Structure 1
Amino acid sequence: MGFTASVSDTSLFIKTDNNDIIILLLYVDDIILTGSCVTKVQLVVQELSSVFDLKDLGKLTYFLGLQIQYKPNGDIFVNQSKYIKDLLHKAGMDSCKPANTPCKPDNQMIMTEGELLSDPSSYRSIVGSLQYLTFTRPDIAFAVNTVCQHMHSPTEVHFGAVKRILRYLHGTMQHGIVYSSQSQMNLTAFSDSDWAADLNTRRSVTGYIVFLGDNPISWQSKKQTSVSRSSTEAEYKALAHTAADLAWVRHILRDLKCVLLQPPVINCDNMSAIALSSNPVFHSRIKHLDTDYHFVRERVQQGDLAVAYVPTDEQTADVLTKGLHSPAFIRHCYNLKLGTPSLD
């Protein structure tokens, strides 16, 4: 039918017809189809229906647990309120007391703390469901990443942390991400790390979030694979992970025929890590760093990437690396474009 498979995402297919573009996203037997010309999109639907037993559900409102609402000004609101409601019912927490944050400030859990659960299957099932929720809820990404690390031998203390996340979700069930239709076509990212945050292994936590204009499109909270000997090293590793994700996003945008007018910018709150990304003299001090991480500096020198300083108070990725007090947590959630359908 003239579609080309994306190299960056095997579920994505693109077709260009003169100045029009048609995009097809496939998951097993569920398809999202969009494009710049409504008539040509309908022609694709007709051609597919002539070969397969196809049902056209019209404008996208629900897809794999994601609910989509359209606002009069062209903005799109995406959330998973029905999924959360079903999860709370499954966990028997339909009427629980809401919590202000998904985890306690500076939350740190010991692997052996508390008594082992006699039946860990419920813990694993709920945590697995919470992982899927992070698709539209970056605010719980750090808390979910923390409880995921105890899947093999969860204790009552770990289950208490899971219940805290569920209590937070109960009070923010309608929250989701507002995507602005007026956003500019530029990439910015926030990169952060919490040095030696894991008390069990002393590994650091990486957190980053990528914005297309004002819209968050990619984020992650993850424990680093090796121990860092300094906070600078931990921050630099986080920069490398963020740069790799930005490269992937740029490939996707290139497949979608979207042109960036300026290089992506990574915002970091560590001056030493920023210096390492641009000044080769500093590299003699960190020869113990794996050479894989030096590709950040190469991209900066080639002009494909810029690294800028951002004050810690304005570091949006901070919410992906540690538990925060309620005022800071709420401020960062606002920066993540998290809100409710009633927002303008």
Structure 2
Amino acid sequence: MTRPDISFAVNKLCQYMHARTDVHWKAIKWLLRYLASAISYGLFVTHNPSCHIQYYTNSDWGDCNDDPRSINGDAIYLGCNLVSWDAKKQPTVARLYIGSEYKSLENGMAEVFWIQSLLTELDLSPSVPAILWCDNIGAIYFTSNHIFHARTKHIELDYHTIRKKVGSGQLQAHCH
């Protein structure tokens, strides 16, 4: 739980847990050797009064030879502390790279709003909107530009919820 540096590797290896080969076994041994050499690595939480939330995301576009579905990777910071991270496959195959990145932003929005609701219950409401960081400028444009809608009919309608949140000022989306 405190080692986001290995979360993708563990996720990938778990996919072959019931049908592993020598290649997978070598990868497991490599991962164990890495852990032994990086024993002092991990998450460190520091005191920070900021409740500013930032969400960083990246997505491949079907780069895996085993499965055409895209893989999302994301990290959520509260102030300067990493509080949530994830790496998982998208449930559907994205037709376009931009669709993969946009879906990743949509997943992040849901996680960000869950964290914001938790902070609100603890009377620690953030005073500024959360920021979503994505490396795809097209996906960022989709969050606020309704003109592209005709070209994105293949993206499920519930993915466009993020547009409403950006339009209302509840979120900000930026390219990094």
Tell me the distance in 2 between the aligned counterparts of 1:183 and 1:260. 11
Contact 1:189–1:211 at 8 Å: present in 2 too?
yes
Tell me the distance in 2 between the aligned counterparts of 1:216 and 1:208. 11
**Structure 1 partner of 2:112:** 246
Tell me the distance in 1 between the aligned counterparts of 2:162 and 2:145. 11
More helix per residue: 2
Contact 1:183–1:214 at 8 Å: present in 2 too?
no
Tell me the distance in 1 between the aligned counterparts of 2:128 and 2:48. 18
Tell me the distance in 1 between the aligned counterparts of 2:63 and 2:33. 24
Tell me the distance in 2 between the aligned counterparts of 1:180 and 1:154. 40
Tell me the distance in 2 between the aligned counterparts of 1:285 and 1:273. 13
Local SS of the residue matching 1:177: coil
Question: Post-superposition shift, 1:140?
Answer: 0.5
Q: Which amino acid aligns with 2:40?
A: Q
In the TM superposition, 1:58-73 aligns within 5 A as none
Q: List gaps (5 residues or longer) in structure 1.
A: 1-134, 311-344
2:174 is aligned with 1:308 = yes
Question: Post-superposition shift, 1:203?
Answer: 1.1
**Structure 2 partner of 1:6:** none
**Structure 1 partner of 2:28:** 162
Question: Post-superposition shift, 1:289?
Answer: 0.9
Distance 1:183-1:143 versus aligned 2 partners, 3 A rule: farther
Larger radius of gyration: 1
Q: 4+ runs of 1 displaced by more than 3 Å?
A: none
Tell me the distance in 2 between the aligned counterparts of 1:209 and 1:197. 20
Q: CA RMSD in A?
A: 1.1
TM-score of the pair, normalised by structure 2: 0.96
2:40 is aligned with 1:171 = no
**Greater relative CO, 1 or 2 (CA 8 Å, sep 6+):** 2
Local SS of the residue matching 1:157: helix
2:70 is aligned with 1:204 = yes
TM-score of the pair, normalised by structure 1: 0.50
Q: Give the paired residue count.
A: 176
Question: Post-superposition shift, 1:240?
Answer: 0.8
Q: List gaps (5 residues or longer) in structure 2.
A: none
Local SS of the residue matching 1:179: coil
Tell me the distance in 2 between the aligned counterparts of 1:194 and 1:228. 10
**Structure 2 partner of 1:267:** 133
Tell me the distance in 2 between the aligned counterparts of 1:182 and 1:208. 21
